[in-house]
A = this chain, B = another copy of it.
């Protein structure tokens, strides 16, 4: 049987109430006895029973994190950012991987909900309607990170529309006019829509009308990148391509190599995300880097400061990190 507050109270000649106040630093108590109690607790090897505390307080300090099981590597960076701040403010992160199986999703979410969770953060996830309903009804604080969902649910992400315009500006300033967007042609997530619109508007701002065929590929996968060259055939009808995720860009790079293309002279590539994965390719990828770690930190601090009622949509900055995969296109100049 483990040591309880009662045991400490007995040994200290105090009531459980006092010990509780001291150990949680709540309410009034004498600092001298406090020192004694803390000492005692430590020497007796006391460990708080968090279930009892949660039950008593009808709430916990747990934040549930939903991560897609096929998670892109940037999820780790977001979690890292959250972890830093969570530790600082005394939150616990309950990380759960969810897969596409809806019944499993529901079970997972319910098991989170049954612990009087403080909030649920969703990483790059598009919910199925059933799960969505479950979450909405649960009244816990929701937050979508690196993706935007319903406008009701607060989100932290990059401004995908603006980001895409920045990318187009960058490529156009390097002489590119025929540009492809790979991996953002699906209807969901909303991020894909925003990116498409930013892409189209970005081109239009330079007086370039976009070619619908150049928006291709539905999934953010290596395979999508790998199939790009084959899909369009040689010679490629564009001089630059935007990979909607690092793993796509790597696939694209590899398929270009397999087709004996010279990167960046035969094809310029710029990658969205800019995780460390982009540093291990040859040539090193030019990217627009999202600040995932900051997203994670903001998620926690904003929750902690209870700011989600005021700010529904929070953007973090992106920056272009030049690598060796974008060349100047002299032909069009």
Contacts and interface: CB of A to CB of B under 8 A. Distances in A.
A71 interface: yes
A289 interface: no
Chain A interface main SS type = helix
Interface in A46-64: 47-52, 54-55, 60
A220 to B, nearest CB: 14
A128 interface: no
Contacts of A79: 97
Interface in A288-321: none
Interface residues of A, number: 44
A45 interface: yes
B55 A49 contact: yes
Nearest to A98: B83
Given A97-B80, A97-B83, A51 B48 contact: no
Contact of A60 (B51, B94, B96): B51
Given A107-B87, A111-B50, A257 B280 contact: no
Interface stretch (A112-120, A149-157, A211-219, A231-239): A112-120
A25 B147 CA distance: 40
Contacts of A270: none
Interface of A: 45, 47-52, 54-55, 60, 69, 71, 73, 76, 79-80, 83, 87, 92-97, 99, 104, 107, 110-111, 113-116, 137, 222, 247, 250-251, 254, 257-258, 279-280, 282
